[in-house]
Chains A and B, each alone.
Chain A
C-alpha cells in the first residue's frame, strides 16, 4: 500500500527532515507513527500525499511510483486517501452536511449519490442529528468526527490522520481512535501520527517511531519478520 525505499528529504533551508527511511505499510494495517515534534512525522505524511518530493529514494503508493506522477494526477492520488487534521480543517461557512458533501462534489459524484451517501456516513460517526449545524456550533470532538466523515465519504483506500486527537480532551480522544479502529476493521488502511503514548498503549497496533529523521523503532519488525 505505502512503501518508502531509502527515502531522504532535505528542505531548501538545510533542514534534514528524513534520512534514508525504508518502511512498508501493508493494505489493511493500522499504524501509529510516533515521535517528538520536529522528528519528521509531518514530512512523512507530506511525502505520502506528494505535497513534497524526496531528494533521494522512491515512494510507492497504491503501486504507483510517486516520482513518475504528473502534476495533474496528484488530485487523483489524494482521492484514494482520506486526510484528518489536528485542527479539523472544516470550512466555517458550510454546514456539517455541506462540509462532507463537498468532498463528494470534488470527485464529481452525482447529486443522487451524494444525498444517499452523506447521511449514511454522518450516522456512522454519530452526527446524523447535527447535519444542519455549522462547525462553530460543535464541540472539538464533534468537529473531528465531521472531518473523519469527510475523509471517509469517498471510500478511500487509506485514512491518514495527523494528530487527530491533538485538540480534543483525552476522554473524547479514545472515541476518535475507536472510530478509526472500526474503520480499519472494515478494511481501510489507517496511518495515524500521534505523540500520545496512552493511546498507543491502549490500542495495541503497529508503532513506528521516528526520531531525528530516522525510523528508530518499528514494532512490526519485532513481532513479524520484516518484509522484503
Chain B
C-alpha cells in the first residue's frame, strides 16, 4: 500500500515535470484543445440562444378558438373544461363576446353609444385565446380543438409557427453536425499531437522498459500529463468563451430577443469542458502509448 502511494506521488510528479520539460508540446496541445472547445462552445451557445428565442416566440404564439354563436357563457366554460384534456395547451383564456366587443370598440373613437347599442345584439361569438406548449404538434392540436363540441372555428398563425419549427430543427441539426465534426477533428488532432510527443519520447519509453518498468508505470505520467492539459484547457476555454460572449458586442442592438446569460451556463460549460478535456487527454495518451508498449521494449537494442 505504502509502495503504491509513493509510486503514485513519484509518477504524478514525473507527469507534471514532463509538462514543463516538453512545454512547447504542452502549449500546442492546450492551444488545440482550447480552440476546439471554443468552437464547440460557441456552437452550443448559438444553439442555446435559438432554443431560447423559440421558447419566447412560442409563448407568444396564440391560437384563437371561436365558439358557435348560440353558446352561452356557461356553456363556454364547459368547453374550457373540455380543453383540459388536450395536453399540448399551455394556457387558455376565455374571452366573452362582451369583452371581445369592448376590446374591439376601444380602437374606435367615440363609439360609446354604438357599443351600448351593439351590446344588446352582439354579433361576436364567445372565444378562447389558447397558447400551445409545443409548436411542432400544431396541426394535431388544432384538429383536437376543432373536434370539441361547440367549437365553430380555429384561427392561428399556422404558417409562421411551422416555419419557426422548421428553422429551429434545421439550425439545431446543422449545429449538431458541426459539433460532431469538431469532436472528430479535435480527437484526430489530439491523438496526433500525443503521437508526436510519444515519438519524441520513445527512447525514454524504451529506457524505462529496459530497466523493468511495468506498462502502468510508463503510462501513468502520460495520463497525468494528458489530464492536466485537459483541465487547464477547460479552465482557459471557459474563461475565454465567457469573456467573448459577455463583453464583445455581437450587434446586440439588432437582436430582438434577450440573449441567454453566460452565468447560467458557466458551470455546465466548465464541467463539460473538463470532462471532455480529461477524457480526451488521458484516453488519447493511453491509445497512443499502446503501440509503443505492445512491441516488447520497442528498440531496446538496435
A and B co-occur in one complex: yes
Q: Tell me which residues across on chain A come within 8 A of B207, comparing CB atoms.
A: 89-91
A49: CB under 8 A from chain B?
yes
CB A161 to nearest CB in B, in angstroms, measures: 11
Q: In the complex the two chains form, is A51's CB within 8 Å of B3's CB?
A: no
Question: Which stretch (B129-137, B142-150, B209-217) binds chain A?
Answer: B209-217
CA of A45 to CA of B297, assembled, Å: 12
CB A211 to nearest CB in B, in angstroms, measures: 19
- Bin chain B's interface residue count: 20 to 34
Q: In the complex the two chains form, is B3's CB within 8 Å of A110's CB?
A: yes
Option from B208, B209, B301 in Cβ contact (under 8 Å) with A45: B301
CA of A150 to CA of B214, assembled, Å: 17
Question: Which stretch (A28-36, A72-80, A119-127, A199-207) binds chain B?
Answer: A72-80
Q: Name the residue on B nearest A80 (C-beta).
A: B212
Q: Tell me which residues across on chain B come within 8 A of A86, comparing CB atoms.
A: 302
Question: Which stretch (A55-63, A101-109, A170-178, A181-189) binds chain B?
Answer: A101-109
CA of A150 to CA of B211, assembled, Å: 9
A83: CB under 8 A from chain B?
yes
CB B96 to nearest CB in A, in angstroms, measures: 83
Q: Name the residue on B nearest A72 (C-beta).
A: B214
CB A194 to nearest CB in B, in angstroms, measures: 14
Q: With A78-B212, A79-B212, A106-B208 in contact, do A51 and B297 touch (Cβ < 8 Å)?
A: yes
Q: Name the residue on A nearest B298 (C-beta).
A: A51
CB B209 to nearest CB in A, in angstroms, measures: 7
Q: With A42-B301, A51-B297, A51-B300 in contact, do A108 and B211 touch (Cβ < 8 Å)?
A: no
Which residue, B203, B217, B301, has most C-beta atoms of chain A within 10 A? B301
CB A78 to nearest CB in B, in angstroms, measures: 4
CA of A86 to CA of B206, assembled, Å: 14
A3: CB under 8 A from chain B?
no
Q: Tell me which residues across on chain B come within 8 A of A116, comparing CB atoms.
A: none
Q: Tell me which residues across on chain B come within 8 A of A107, comparing CB atoms.
A: 212
Q: In the complex the two chains form, is A105's CB within 8 Å of B10's CB?
A: yes
Q: With A42-B302, A110-B6 in contact, do A49 and B297 touch (Cβ < 8 Å)?
A: yes
Q: In the complex the two chains form, is B296's CB within 8 Å of A74's CB?
A: yes
Q: Tell me which residues across on chain A come within 8 A of B7, comparing CB atoms.
A: 105, 108
Q: In the complex the two chains form, is B3's CB within 8 Å of A83's CB?
A: no
B113: CB under 8 A from chain A?
no
Q: Tell me which residues across on chain A come within 8 A of B112, comparing CB atoms.
A: none
Q: Tell me which residues across on chain B come within 8 A of A83, comparing CB atoms.
A: 210-211, 300
Q: Name the residue on A nearest B296 (C-beta).
A: A51
Q: In the complex the two chains form, is A75's CB within 8 Å of B212's CB?
A: yes
Q: Mark B170-201, 1 if CB is under 8 A from A, else 0.
A: 00000000000000000000000000000000
Q: In the complex the two chains form, is A106's CB within 8 Å of B6's CB?
A: no
CA of A150 to CA of B302, assembled, Å: 20
Q: In the complex the two chains form, is B6's CB within 8 Å of A78's CB?
A: no
Q: In the complex the two chains form, is B3's CB within 8 Å of A79's CB?
A: no
B204: CB under 8 A from chain A?
yes
Q: Mark A40-58, 1 if CB is under 8 A from B, else 0.
A: 0010011001111000000
Q: Tell me which residues across on chain A come within 8 A of B256, comparing CB atoms.
A: none
Q: Tell me which residues across on chain B come within 8 A of A154, comparing CB atoms.
A: 211-212
CB B295 to nearest CB in A, in angstroms, measures: 9
Q: Tell me which residues across on chain A come within 8 A of B208, comparing CB atoms.
A: 106
A197: CB under 8 A from chain B?
no
B21: CB under 8 A from chain A?
yes
Q: Tell me which residues across on chain B come within 8 A of A93, comparing CB atoms.
A: 21
CA of A49 to CA of B203, assembled, Å: 17
Q: With A51-B296, A52-B296, A108-B3 in contact, do A78 and B301 touch (Cβ < 8 Å)?
A: no
CA of A79 to CA of B297, assembled, Å: 13
Q: In the complex the two chains form, is A75's CB within 8 Å of B214's CB?
A: yes
CB A149 to nearest CB in B, in angstroms, measures: 12
Q: Name the residue on A nearest B211 (C-beta).
A: A103
Q: With A93-B21, A108-B3 in contact, do A78 and B211 touch (Cβ < 8 Å)?
A: yes
CB A53 to nearest CB in B, in angstroms, measures: 9
Q: Tell me which residues across on chain A come within 8 A of B206, comparing CB atoms.
A: 89
Given contacts A78-B209, A102-B211, 5 further A-B contacts (CB under 8 A): A51-B301, A77-B212, A89-B206, A103-B211, A154-B211
- 29 of the cross-chain contacts (CB-CB < 8 Å) are A42-B302, A46-B300, A46-B301, A49-B210, A51-B297, A51-B300, A52-B296, A72-B214, A75-B209, A75-B214, A75-B215, A76-B212, A78-B209, A78-B210, A78-B212, A85-B210, A86-B302, A89-B206, A91-B204, A105-B7, A106-B208, A106-B211, A106-B212, A106-B217, A107-B212, A108-B6, A110-B2, A110-B3, A154-B212
- The 3 A-B pairs at the shortest CB distance, nearest first, are namely A79-B212, A78-B212, A51-B297
